[in-house]
């Protein structure tokens, strides 16, 4: 059985670039911006890729921050973006500027995010009474209860 997953991609902008791996073993594929966009401090902008994708059923596309941009202060406000298998609009990267300076200019052709494809299992929720849930050592302890927060 092959681990290959076929993702069909259409360019809807003449300058759109297909996602590219930075190295042979890179988990993510670079996404590129198709226009110059200025992101003002404290604001969020959509960075267009000029691509539409067909993610296969049972899979999701994930958009993650590029570490180099994150280090500068250009982050993804939603952490990881999800592209559902039934979405057929343009793939955009949400970018939020928290770095030094009043703005960050994303140049046309700049790498703006990492794209990964991950399996999504079929989930079936089964409602039960709370006392029917298994007990654990942690119980309902959260937000620092393990001493690591």
Query: What does the pLDDT profile of the chain (149 residues) look like in tens digits?
Result: 568 999 999 999 999 999 999 999 999 999 999 999 999 999 999 999 999 999 999 999 999 999 999 999 999 998 899 999 999 999 999 999 999 999 999 999 999 999 999 999 999 999 999 999 998 887 777 777 676 65
What backbone torsions phi and psi does residue 117 show, to the nearest 5 degrees?
A: -120, 125
- φ/ψ region of 117 (left if φ > 0, alpha if ψ in -120 to 50, else beta) reads beta
With residue 69 as reference, give the H or E element that holds it. Answer: helix 67-72
Specify the pTM.
0.86
Burial of 107 (0-12, 13-18, 19+ CB in 10 A): exposed
Q: State the maximum Cα–Cα separation within the chain, in Å, rounded to a whole number.
A: 58
């Amino acid at each position: 059985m092959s681990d290959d997953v076929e993702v069909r991609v259409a360019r809807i902008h003449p300058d759109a670039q297909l996602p590219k791996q930075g190295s042979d073993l890179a988990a993510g594929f670079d996404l590129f911006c198709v226009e110059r966009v200025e992101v003002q401090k404290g604001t969020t902008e959509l960075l267009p890729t000029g691509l539409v994708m067909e993610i296969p059923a049972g899979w999701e596309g994930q958009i993650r921050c590029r570490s180099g941009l994150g280090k500068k202060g250009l982050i993804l406000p939603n952490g990881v973006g999800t592209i559902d298998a039934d979405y057929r609009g343009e793939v955009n990267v949400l970018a939020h500027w928290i770095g030094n300076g009043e703005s960050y200019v994303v140049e046309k052709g700049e790498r703006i995010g990492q794209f990964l494809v991950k399996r999504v299992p079929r989930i079936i929720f089964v409602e039960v009474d709370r006392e029917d849930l298994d007990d654990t050592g942690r119980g309902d302890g959260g937000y620092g209860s393990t001493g690591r927060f």
